[in-house]
Structure 1
Amino acid sequence: MADSILTERRGRVGIVTLNRPEVLNAWTRPMRDALIEAFSAFEADPAVGALILTGAGDRAFGAGQDLNEAKGFDADRAEDWMGEWERLYDRMRSLSKPLVGALNGLAAGSAFQVALLTDIRVGHPGVRMGQPEINSGIASVTGPWIMREMLGLARTIDLTLTGRLMDAEECVAVGLISRLVPQERVLDASLELAEQLAAKPPVAMRLNKQRFREVTEPGFRDCLAAGTRIQRESYATGEPQMMMEQFLAVRAARRT
């Protein structure tokens, strides 16, 4: 898990990279903690005016929760898990500096949610995004809140219940991807955008982002409270653990 998050600075832009490409940058608890630390360090750095979040490799921004971790959860651990997401999402939402999402491939489940918490997203024609958590037995709670804010209830229900992934064309059409470029240009285009944002007046930028947070805060807190209740109930039944074991077994069989 060492170096699961990489950071670098290019001029006034801080770059944070999810760095587990061998598992499509899937999340674990140490990785979430390291991501919070990386965001906090750049937030405190006066030389940094904007941030980029991306994923290592060319296959995925992120595949979401690492099921090898989550398959061992019980109800108590599931409640702690929601607290981990609250800390990460709260850190992202409270950034005073603009955050660009540089999407390189798949953004699924909680990685889809994290992508939607960036301010502006740059992607390429091979990007796929969505909320397939139901396929591995995980109830969606924070995802529907974030999606409804951006997509409306009807499309949110569709994506949550079917678990389907949207292709880049649909993502652009519904406004989730703001800039579509060739895959090899994603990071460069994100840097160009981040540099433009870093040059904006910082007080106005901070206050604009603060207001976006304020108008969405009640829904955010409601989804977290509901998430704790729902995940406790879900994991107490044993269904998520069973579905994840089955999912991992099928995936392992395909590799042999």
Structure 2
Amino acid sequence: MAEVLLDKLGQLAVVTLHRPERMNAVNQALRTQLIGILGELNRDETVRAIVLTGAGTRAFCAGQDLDEASAVDWTRIVPWLNAQRDMYQAVRNLDKPCIAAINGVAAGAGFQVALCADWRVIAPETRIGQPEVKAGLASIVGSYLMTLHVGMTHNVQLSLSGELINGQRAYEIGLVTELAAQDGVLESALRRAREMAALPATAVRLSKQRFRAMTQAQFDDACVAGIRAQFECYSQGEPQEAMTRFLAARNKE
């Protein structure tokens, strides 16, 4: 089954996270397919800009699939988190503009994927944020990625409370780039992608490579710190307890 869809519109590519029954939550298949597709698009000289969005209207990406996360034990933490890192890196590695059309909730891993994009379009009422602590996980990679966009006060608020904020607030504090009506998010992202696709490709590529070089060491450090932190969280049993409660409540619905 295709967990990620690809549509080409001339010089644009639209990449859609496609697990609507799970609010486009990240699992192994989605990660693998997304990494592969983004790598192909980065090498495709006919593609000048990429729009990343989610299937349906409920979610851009609700984060990590908790069915998968709840099955992780300490022996699998390193490869699991390295796979997450590779997914974020695949977005960071793009040498052409990447616009996230945040068409629904973006939380946790989904929020972090959007933060790796160059441009984020969202509706004022759409909710986004970093709820890892509520799942018993430390906010490490996500809190680092937020430092690229907001100051410590807002970072601490989102990382330690685990609360989601709406798109209007996210725009006001600098987490997202552009607001659009709920039914116009994708079209606004496509319009921006067309504008950026028309820019000189070499100048865009070199600018993006410089942004990546300025942040790569800190990103790598955050990913290593994240592994250490989640080892300790899992050793205390907090993620397992939080996810078990969530899955039990979901199964009662």
User: How far apart are residue 28 of structure 1 and its match?
Assistant: 0.3
Q: Which whole-Å deviations, capped at 9, do the CAs of 1:20-67 have from their partners, x for residues lacking one?
A: 111110010111010001101111111100000000000110100000
Question: Structure 1: where are the runs of 5+ without partners?
Answer: none
- The alignment partner of 1:151 has SS state of coil
**Mapping 1:204-223, distance limit 5 Å:** 204-223=203-222
* SS in structure 2 of the partner of residue 102 of structure 1: strand
Listed as ranges, the gaps of 5+ residues in structure 2 are none
* Residues 73-222 of structure 1 aligned to structure 2 (within 5 Å): 73-222=72-221
Q: Is the 8 A contact 1:75 1:233 kept in 2?
A: no
**For the residues of structure 1 that align with 2:141 and 2:6, how far apart are their CA atoms?**
26
Decide whether the 8 Å contact of 1:96 with 1:206 is kept in 2. yes
- 8 Å CA contact 2:125–2:168 kept in 1: the answer is no
Q: How many residues align?
A: 253
SS of the equivalent of 2:63 reads coil
- Matched-pair identity in %: 42
Match of 2:25 in 1: 26
Cα deviation digits, residues 80-122 of structure 1 (max 9, x gap): 1111022112221111010000011100011001111110011
The answer (yes or no) to whether the contact 2:95–2:209 under 8 Å persists in 1 is: yes
Could you say what secondary structure the match of 2:15 adopts? strand
TM-score under structure 2 length normalisation: 0.97
- Write the distance in 2 (CA, Å) between the matches of 1:138 and 1:241: 10
- Contact 1:105–1:126 (Cα < 8 Å) also in 2: no
Letter of the 2:87 counterpart: L
Specify the code of the residue in structure 1 equivalent to 2:99. Answer: V
Could you tell which deviates more after superposition, 8-17 or 79-88?
A: 79-88
What's the secondary structure of 1:210's corresponding residue? helix
State the partner residue of 1:72.
71
Shift of 1:252: 2.6
In the TM superposition, structure 1's runs of 4+ consecutive aligned residues that sit over 6 Å from their partners are: none
Counterparts of 2:115 and 2:62 in 1: how far apart (Å)?
14
CA drift at 1:181: 1.4
Q: How does 1:244-255 map to 2 (within 5 A)?
A: 244-253=243-252, 255=253
| Alpha carbons 2:49, 2:197 under 8 Å: kept | yes
CA distance in 2, matches of 1:165, 1:21: 20
Query: The residue matched to 2:120 in structure 1 has which SS?
Result: strand
How far apart, in 2, do the equivalents of 1:185 and 1:202 lie?
27
CA distance in 1, matches of 2:227, 2:212: 21
Cα distance in 2 for residues equivalent to 1:49 and 1:120: 15
Q: TM-score, normalised by structure 1?
A: 0.96
Deviations 1:113-164, CA, capped at 9 Å, x for gaps: 1111110011112211101111121222110100122111221111111111
